[in-house]
Amino acid sequence: MADGEQFAGGGCSCGEIRYRGLCAPDQVLVCHCPDCRRSSGAQSVAWLFISSDSFEFTQGEPTEFASSPGVIRKFCGTCGTTLSWEGDKQPGRIDVTVGSLDSPQDYPPTKAVYRKHRLPWASEI
């Protein structure tokens, strides 16, 4: 493992889907884009980057949705928890929702993207 890397695990609300993968804790951001907002039902979404090689769903099979061309979002088909994001333009990387991690408190976001779409009442990060 490279410096700062550690295994992060998480899963959905009902417990049907579980995942784990290697990540660097400083690779966390908040996204304010409308696609994240709609797909999660929240004002913004915090994402943790995980290298695709190390990532696996260890239990259950998530449902997929192409939220835009070349983008796949996965979620639990039973309870609806938003779990991951993969984009053709970001090969080798899968983003998981910080909210679905077992220890989200260990992954504070350090920046925000798509800030021009941020809702006026939502905090920057």
Among 39, 51, 67, 78, binds Zn ion (CB under 5 A): 78
CA atoms within 13 A on the CB side of 17: 23
Q: Is the CB of residue 94 less than 8 Å from the CB of residue 50?
A: yes
| Of 8 and 17, CB closest to Zn ion | 17
Phi, psi of 113 (to 5 degrees): -125, 165
Under the binding rule (CB under 5 A), the answer on residue 79 touching Zn ion is yes
Helix (H) or strand (E) holding 18: strand 18-31
84-103: b (≥16 Cβ within 10 Å) or e: bbbbeeeeebbbbbbbbbee
| Of 23 and 29, CB closest to Zn ion | 29
Task: Mark residues 20-59: x for contact with Zn ion by CB under 5 A, - for none.
Answer: -----------x-x--x-----------------------
CB of 17 to Zn ion, least distance (A): 5
Looking at the DSSP bridge assignments, the partners of residue 86 are: 72
Interacting residues toward Zn ion by CB under 5 A = 12, 14, 16, 31, 33, 36, 76, 78-79
